[in-house]
Amino acid sequence: MIDPIALAQDLIRCPSVTPDDAGALAILEHVLVGMGFTCHRLRFEAPGTAPIENLYARLGTNAPNFCFAGHTDVVPPGDAKLWRYPPFAAEIKDGVLYGRGAADMKSAIAAFVAALDGFQPKGSISLLITGDEEGPGVNGTQAVLRWLDEHGEKIDHCLVGEPTATAAAGDTIKIGRRGSINTTVTVTGRQGHVGYPHKAINPIPALAKLIDRLSTPLDDGTAHFDPSTLAFTTVDVGNKASNVIPAEARAHFNIRFNDRHSADSLKTHIAKAAEEVSRETGAEITCESIVGGHVFLTEPGTFVTLLSDAIARAIGTAPELSTTGGTSDARFIKDHCPVAEIGLPGGTMHMADECVVVAEIQSLARIYREILKAYFANPPK
pLDDT tens-place values along the chain, 381 residues long: 899 999 999 999 999 999 999 999 999 999 999 999 999 999 999 999 999 999 999 999 999 999 999 999 999 999 999 999 999 999 999 999 999 999 999 999 999 999 999 999 999 999 999 999 999 999 999 999 999 999 999 999 999 999 999 999 999 999 999 999 999 999 999 999 999 999 999 999 999 999 999 999 999 999 999 999 999 999 999 999 999 999 999 999 999 999 999 999 999 999 999 999 999 999 999 999 999 889 999 999 999 999 999 999 999 999 999 999 888 999 999 999 999 999 999 999 999 999 999 999 999 999 999 999 999 999 998
State the pairing for strand pair 248-257/229-236. antiparallel
* CA–CA distance, 299 with 289 (Å, rounded to integer): 28
* CA–CA distance, 164 with 367 (Å, rounded to integer): 14
Q: Is the CA virtual torsion 18, 67, 328, 170 positive or negative?
A: negative
CA-CA distances (angstroms) from residue 140 to 55, 207, 223, 236, 291?
A: 9, 38, 32, 34, 18
State the pairing for strand pair 339-341/244-245. unpaired
pLDDT for residue 130: 98
State in Å, rounded, how far the first CA of the chain is from the last one. Answer: 32
Q: Is the CA virtual torsion 102, 104, 106, 109 positive or negative?
A: positive
Q: Which amino acid appears at position 189 of this protein?
A: G
Q: Which amino acid appears at position 286 of this protein?
A: T
pLDDT for residue 327: 84
Contact yes or no for 98/354 (Cβ under 8 A): yes
Helix axes 4-12 and 24-34, enclosed angle (nearest 10): 150
* CA–CA distance, 286 with 248 (Å, rounded to integer): 11
pLDDT for residue 326: 82
| Long-range own/partner contacts, residues 268-275 (CB < 8 A, 24 or more apart) | 269/218, 270/183, 270/214, 273/210, 273/213, 273/214, 274/185, 274/210
The 10 Å Cβ neighbour count of residue 92 is 17
* CA angle 152–70–333, rounded 5-degree value: 45
The 10 Å Cβ neighbour count of residue 11 is 27
Q: What is the pTM of this model?
A: 0.91
Residues designated catalytic: 73, 133
CA 355 to chain CA centroid, Å, is 19
Beta bridge partners of 7: none
Q: For the chain, what is the radius of gyration of the CA atoms?
A: 24
Beta bridge partners of 332: none
pLDDT for residue 134: 96
